[in-house]
Amino acid sequence: MTIGEIRRQTTARLRPVAGDLAALEGDRMLGFLMNCGPTELTLRAGNAIQSADEEKLATFVADRLTGRPLAYVIGHVEFYGLDLLCDPRALIPRPETEELVAAALDCLPEPRSVIRPLAVDIGTGSGNIALAMANQRPDLHIIGTDIDRQALILADENRRRLDLGTRVQLVGGRSLTMFRPAAIFDLIVSNPPYVVPGDPNLDRSVVDFEPHVALFAGPSGLEILFELLVGAEILLKPGGWVVSEIGFGQGNEIRDFLRTRPIWGDPVIHRDLAYIERILTVQRRR
């Protein structure tokens, strides 16, 4: 079978689960196996596909047809220019979280030759946020925390693959409670659980396959973020920042909460590419 034929066949097979994205997903699978992009697949359309790749592709398709997310099927995901291992031990890194990384990088102190900024990533999961930030800022030291030991193991695997072990430290524990009460951080960043249990808008594949501990907060969806903000009042240096991803429709409640905490400046909530309020940035007053 040629590459062109297998692409058409794969698109048809994936359509029941991927819909209009079937061709894109098929190319992601085949491109991963052949280490090339869609353009090269098109240029090589008349070439025969190797039997080993054809067999592995069939395995990928069968797995995807169970509803398993594409990133888990392939076992890899691209995030902020990095190739990360990705499996059900942690939440799948998403494009909107790249906007969180960009916002967090903007809040770091300017690079200096002597002073190295210190940050903490709460709920690090696969390590995607901490690793992306460390990769972009060679002067940054960042600690990634998670209550899920399996997620930390995955983060460590990614850390080792990217050779960032000297500047990214991984620690098990809940929120900020494992740190001594002193103003030590320049930045606290997080993509915390913020989904309300039973949210009818949540995609079925997310509920069925991704770790619930990384998704669901309490009845309002804001319990963990508010806990983080209270803890940050002690651990954040004056002038330091909290940067957090938030859920749909949570912006006003977050603003109301911060008005009751005079230590914080005026919050800014950035909208994502879909024009949904997605990223909170707030500075501790100097």
What residue numbers bound the domain in which 34 lies? 3-66
pLDDT of residue 198: 86
| CATH assignment of the domain containing 263 | 3.40.50.150
Give the pLDDT band of residue 177 (cuts 50, 70, 90): confident
As for how many domains the chain has, the answer is 2
Environment class of residue 247 by beta-carbon count within 10 Å: exposed (0-12), middle (13-18) or buried (19+)? buried
**Neighbouring-strand partners of residue 185:** 236
Give the pLDDT band of residue 112 (cuts 50, 70, 90): confident
pLDDT of residue 244: 98
Which amino acid, one-letter code, is at 153? Answer: I
Strands, E, within the chain: which ranges? 76-79, 82-85, 118-122, 141-146, 168-172, 185-190, 236-245, 268-271, 277-283
Domain shared by 126 and 163, yes or no: yes
Domain shared by 139 and 279, yes or no: yes
Give the pLDDT band of residue 204 (cuts 50, 70, 90): confident
Mean pLDDT of 266-272: 96
The structure's pTM equals 0.94
- State how far the Cα of 250 lies from the Cα of 213, in Å rounded to an integer: 19
Domain shared by 53 and 97, yes or no: no
The answer to whether position 71 is within a domain reads no
pLDDT tens by residue, 211-226: 999 999 999 999 999 9
pLDDT at 10 over 70: yes
pLDDT tens by residue, 217-257: 999 999 999 999 999 999 999 999 999 999 999 999 999 99
Q: Using the 8-state DSSP alphabet, how is residue 246 labeled?
A: -
Which of 66, 90, 105 is a domain's end point? 66
Q: Using the 8-state DSSP alphabet, how is residue 193 labeled?
A: -
The answer to whether position 126 is within a domain reads yes
Domain shared by 145 and 205, yes or no: yes
Domain shared by 58 and 98, yes or no: no
pLDDT at 113 over 80: no
Mean pLDDT of 146-173: 95
Helices (H) and strands (E) counted in the chain, each on its own, are 11, 9
pLDDT tens by residue, 86-108: 999 999 999 999 999 999 999 99
pLDDT of residue 90: 98
Domain shared by 33 and 82, yes or no: no
Domain shared by 114 and 244, yes or no: yes
Which amino acid, one-letter code, is at 1? Answer: M
pLDDT of residue 87: 97
Q: 3-class SS at 69?
A: coil
Cβ 59 vs Cβ 75: under 8 Å: no
Give the pLDDT band of residue 169 (cuts 50, 70, 90): very high
Which of 13, 31, 66 is a domain's end point? 66
